[in-house]
Structure 1
Amino acid sequence: MLLENRVALITAGAGVGIGHAVAARFLEEGATVVITDAHAKRTEETAAELGEQFKCEVLGIPVDVTQRDQIEGAVARTHEKYGRIDILFNNAGINKLEPIWQLKDETWDLVMNVCLRGTFWAIRSVVPHMMEQGKGAIVNMASAAGWLASSGGEAAYSAAKAGVMGLTRAASGELAGKGIRVNAIAPTVIYNPFLERIYPKQMFEASKKRNPMGRLGEPREVANLALFLASDLSSYITGEVISISGGSVVVP
């Protein structure tokens, strides 16, 4: 199994989307998994569900990634319990659609804090442990929105995800010589029932029509890429931002 005897910490790993799919995929490959989420009940329920499904312990820790002490506490608790942290999957993110001329400071700050600052805090907290081990893999969730212009009020989100891309490259350069790889995944629209509460239905249909493959991506497809980047299959890959878009990034 690709992740046997490895400990993976996943932010925003509860719910029904990419984080949950990544947690399940890592468990399938033998990892010990710790999930965090801002919703305490959902974190507890998801950890119990995954633990029952895979017949193992899954630790769930409620964490608001906009609170540095909570991130640092989750990292410390994970290391204290398992003695190591081999993989960090930074999945926490948020998007609020506001045209740039109506974009409120509080919206900008929230999106930046969740998507970028929280990612930075998690990396900074986990790296000392990985340095002690002499090895580690960090996978950040960026977005095609960090590359592509949007007409849908995503200025804050696009800026934050572009920042994640820059942070990924900067961190990879600093950490490559310490045995720590840092990469990012940049998806376009990945289907998630939760997103239907944020985006209008016609947006999903339009995305399908524009996509060269004629469909949206699935969370498990992103999880497969995360597994590749977290495992030794990608042992000579660092500093990369990999698009998963069904071709829509190269064929707009």
Structure 2
Amino acid sequence: MSILTAPVSVDSRELEGRVAVVTGGASGMGLATVHALARRGATVAVFDLAVLGDGDLASLPADRVRPVAVDVTDGDQVDRAFASLLAEQPGLDILVNAAGVAPPTPFEFITENEWSRVLAVNVNGTFLCCRRAVPAMRSGGWGRIVNFSSTAGKTISTAGGAHYTTAKHGVLGLTRHLAKAYGPDGVTVNAVCPGLIDTPMTRGLLPEESLEKATRSFPVPRVGQPWEVAELVAFLASDRAAYITGAAVDINGGDLIV
């Protein structure tokens, strides 16, 4: 079974005609989100430093996905990418901020540069993309922003460092502020808070035995799959979630209740 796509048929076209941007969409939960949105009919611009391989998108219509090389920490690059997209498309409907980094450096060994880099990717990148997306969504009278926080945004990080925990708390604060500000304009802003999900980032932080040990006590005793997070994001990006905003939705196998 693919870790990117749901093991059930998704034939809904509920996002037909919608234009989406997914940051960090070249791998992990971001890539699974690209699949989930495109399979529902959205046209998706993938903002990432990495290059998508043909195999990553083989099951998707070629005209549904547009890879764009963007460093989300660079405001000029973000501005140019959005300007180019909006010059070609009639508007922007969905923004998913999935780009993130989570080095496991112990607190006393975190350098200023590393601290700044982690906050730049996880918080500044979210801010820079939201700053460009909000005016386009307000203009269209409809928008969905889904920011990636983490269980680290609710408690502390399982594997990442103190800078990652700090960043993911910051994402939740930004999410709530934007939800309050732009709800009257038809724009909802929510966060997803994944726990331990089977991604290259997680595998790079925790070996197999550590993952199994960590998840054994969960009410759902396993590692989560990227497609499961992507399905939640797709729901929050749809009309079905029109009355949900400012939420921080857990998807962690019950980790926080044990």
TM-score range, shorter chain: over 0.9
| Per-residue deviation, residues 162-191 of structure 1 (Å, max 9, x unmatched) | 000000000100000111100000011101
Q: Check conservation: 1:99, 1:152, Cα contact below 8 A.
A: no
1:183 to 181, 190, 208: 190
The TM-score with structure 2 as length reference comes to 0.90
Question: What amino acid maps onto 1:129 in structure 2?
Answer: A
> Is structure 2 residue 248 aligned with structure 1 residue 236?
no
Among candidates 17, 20, 24, match of residue 12 of structure 1: 24
Counterparts of 2:133 and 2:82 in 1: how far apart (Å)?
A: 6
Assess, with a 3 A threshold, how the Cα gap between structure 1 residues 173 and 84 changes in structure 2: closer, same or farther: same
Whether the 8 Å contact between 2:189 and 2:246 is mirrored in structure 1 is yes
The CA RMSD measured in Å over matched residues stands at 1.5
CA distance in 2 between partners of 1:125 and 1:2 (Å): 24
- Following superposition, the deviation at residue 236 of structure 1 comes to 0.7
d(CA) in 2 for partners of 1:218 and 1:111? 24
After superposition, residues 200-215 of structure 1 pair within 5 angstroms as: 200-215=207-222
Q: Do the aligned partners of 2:159 and 2:205 also contact (CA within 8 Å) in 1?
A: no
Q: 1:55 aligns with which of 54, 61, 64?
A: 61
Once the two structures are superposed, residues 2-43 of structure 1 have per-residue CA deviations (whole angstroms, 9 ceiling, x without a partner) of 10110010001112x10111100111111111111112xx23
Uncovered stretches (5+) of structure 1, i.e. residues with no partner? none
Q: 2:158 & 2:61 partners in 1: Cα distance?
A: 46
Amino acid at match of 2:47: T
Q: Could you tell me how far apart the structure 1 residues matched to 2:202 and 2:252 are?
A: 17
Corresponding residue number in structure 2 for 1:31: 42
Q: Deviations over 1:108-130 (max 9, x none)?
A: 10100000000000000111111
Counterpart selection for 1:163 from 150, 165, 170: 170
**Contact 1:36/1:60 (8 A) holds in 2:** yes
Report if the CA contact (8 A) 2:159-2:206 is conserved: no
Secondary structure class of the residue paired with 1:54? coil
Number of the residue aligned with 2:86: 79
The 3 A distance-change label for structure 1 pair 7 and 151 is: closer
CA contact (8 A) 2:160 2:205 kept: no
CA distance in 2, matches of 1:228, 1:153: 28
Deviations 1:206-235 (A, max 9, x none): 222132111011000001100110000101
1:150 offset after TM fit, Å? Answer: 4.5
Question: Unpaired segments of 5 or more residues in structure 2?
Answer: 1-12
Instruction: Note if 1:218 corresponds to 2:225.
Output: yes
What is the aligned residue count?
245
Aligned mates of 2:182, 2:115 — CA distance in 1: 30
How many angstroms does 1:136 deviate by?
A: 0.5
Q: Which amino acid aligns with 1:54?
A: L
Give the distance between the partners of 2:152 and 2:56, measured in 1 at CA: 32
